[in-house]
Amino acid sequence: MEDDGRHRVLVVEDDGLLRTTLERGLRRAGYRVDAVSTGATAVASARTSPPDAVVLDIGLPDADGRDVCQALRAQGCGAGVVFLTARHHTDDVLSGFAVGGDDYLRKPFEFAELLARVAGVIRRRPFTAAAPGPVAGEERLQVDPATHSIRYGDQQVSLTPTEFRFLACLIARRPEVVRRPELISAGWPGTAHVGENTLDQYVTRARRKLAQVKFPQTLENVRGVGYRIQ
């Protein structure tokens, strides 16, 4: 479909009635809308039709919405993300921000408030970053929130949930340096304390998983600051 200048919103919600309600309401408000029910289809949809905003349920049938958010960021999606959650604990809310979310809305909610939050995240992210294509001859390093895996070319390796969150954070930010506290917040959302030794162990595991898929870049230690994939 030809771009008509309207902002595109990706709705990711497994409840069919709510998904339809959100889709219709956002269309009436003037948005172009793609509505899907799973994390895997959300990642695929954002890859082919980059959104300006994502309304993302945390409780999806195939993946945690926070993992989906990290997967979107890892493939270069710069859309504003509004989490929908039935959870009211502060740690659940903060963990959404730690993985790249921009706002949250607790269920049940008023649709007018959702519209205001969608408009807000679009306004704060005026230039949506479409997923950057790999340079000539290079494959893209992909992360899959449904299977908790990474893929490079024809090589794929499974990850534990923590390994997934840890690596997805690094992939989303590359080639930037990610500070150790940021990695801890992304890898262990809501955890009060993670020791230095634990983080070092996951760095080693991440390097091993990248080597298993034959990814040519390395996970570097920037002394006194953090880590980056370079």
pLDDT value of residue 130: 47
| pLDDT tier at 2, thresholds 50, 70, 90 | low
| pLDDT tier at 174, thresholds 50, 70, 90 | confident
Q: Which CATH number applies to 8-124?
A: 3.40.50.2300
How deeply is 107 buried, as exposed, middle or buried, from its count of CB atoms within 10 A (0-12, 13-18, 19+)?
middle
Interval 108-165: pLDDT, tens: 999 999 999 999 999 987 554 444 444 444 567 889 999 999 999 999 999 999 999 9
DSSP secondary structure code for residue 132 in this structure: P
- For residues 140 and 191, the model is more confident at 140
The two structure tokens encoding residue 99: 């993985």
DSSP secondary structure code for residue 30 in this structure: T
Q: What is the pTM of this model?
A: 0.84
Domain ranges for the chain? 8-124, 141-229
What is the rounded CA–CA span in Å between residue 198 and residue 21?
A: 44
What is the rounded CA–CA span in Å between residue 224 and residue 34?
A: 43
Helix axis angle for 161-173 and 196-212, nearest 10°, is: 80
Candidates 1.10.1060.10, 1.10.10.10, 3.40.190.10, 2.30.110.10; correct CATH number of 141-229? 1.10.10.10
Calculate mean pLDDT across residues 23-51.
Answer: 96
